[in-house]
Structure 1
Amino acid sequence: MKLRIALHGDRRTAKNTRGRPFCGLGAFVGTGATQRAHVYTAANLDEITIDSHKRMDGARLAKQFEVDMCMVNGGRYWLMDEQDVQGGDVVNFDGVNLLYGGEMTAAEMTAQMQTPYAPNLIYRNTNWIWHAGTPVHLIREPNGTVWVMQEYTKDVDPSLTLDNLHQVGGKLMSLPKGWVFETKVLTKELSLNTARCDGWAAIMRDELHCTYQGCGYGADTSANYVP
């Protein structure tokens, strides 16, 4: 494998990230239950357009970097207001600079992309910040777990925009019984910092392929409070 897998170096911060397009890639290594997906994300949002991912050829990149498979993830928009991240190496994938950001089991990454409302774990050192006075889009479980939408996509519903995400709830036809979609305006800053829970984040997708991070999922303590 011609990739160095490690979180190292200084933290990276990005402000005004709400609504910014980004893309990423999963580099799969190994076979069976031990297969890992090493996760890369845009190193500099100023270099990224909504179509940047189309430049990356997963099959060619897998051969170039001597991994079993590369899965390209693109056409997505961030929803937090600020990011504070410790990553690893920045790698040029077909002209797109991506930062090593963490890892999942390959089974969890595949399930996360294919199965709505199925929580999976990712290891990463990230702090997502939503400012007071800004909207957040939530899914509430009856047990008290809250999922915060961290990114959205137009892949399934091209009509989605930053300004109409409050309407997503009416489009979730497969939402599990008792689960509720809600949009609220924060009265204080919300921080989802994986350093509070040993680097682990719980994530899931809805049927529109929007992605959420969990607050209070199991033993998760990443949130400074549950909104």
Structure 2
Amino acid sequence: MNWFESLRDLSHREAAGRLLADGWNVCGLGDWATVWRSPDGALVARVSPFEPAYEVFVELCRTLDGHPLLPRIEFDGPLMGGGRLTVMEFLMPVEPAVADAVVVRWAAAADGDPITVVRREAERLDAEAARSIPFWGGLDHNPGNVLQNAAGEPKLVDLFYAAGLEIYRVLRDDPARIAEAVPADRRRFICDIAALARLSSPDELAALRAAADSLD
């Protein structure tokens, strides 16, 4: 059995503990997730406690499996309470000029350019998600979402986003709307995302946690 299958349905804390115990190390911190690198350096595991949007990017990668501009996904599955674990090939930063050139190619969407296939499928998935995923943000194809693999080949990552600022504004001001939009079993750890832990004051965290607790 794939070792990652044993992490499916654990909480994000338990999954992170298993990765740490197996020799993985933190190599990145985003707004929603912590990223762990495997002992051999070949893979990264993205661990998120509350994940309303990332599955759409995974769907893009799987629909266009093997596309030269998308990362290889090794594993993806839900975590208990609404989190998500996604394991993919390790990617590194690119030079700004390389990232800018990829963004220009995206905008041009020229016939015959492989990036055009990605753009069209991403736009299709974006339209579907806007109709089905609460607080959907949309497409995000800025230069910061261009990385490269060990061979120096550019890869597009994190092409979609949830409207995080709106989610947490609504949680604070009108928590009943969150209860209506997000099932209880998918928001258990809504206040554990990395951006809140990194940027919120103690009073802000307390207010958000109180609002989340009021939903149960």
Flag whether TM exceeds 0.5 (same fold).
no
Q: TM-score, normalised by structure 2?
A: 0.24
Higher radius of gyration, 1 or 2: 2
Instruction: Specify which structure has the higher proportion of helix.
Output: 2
- Which of the two has greater strand per residue? 1
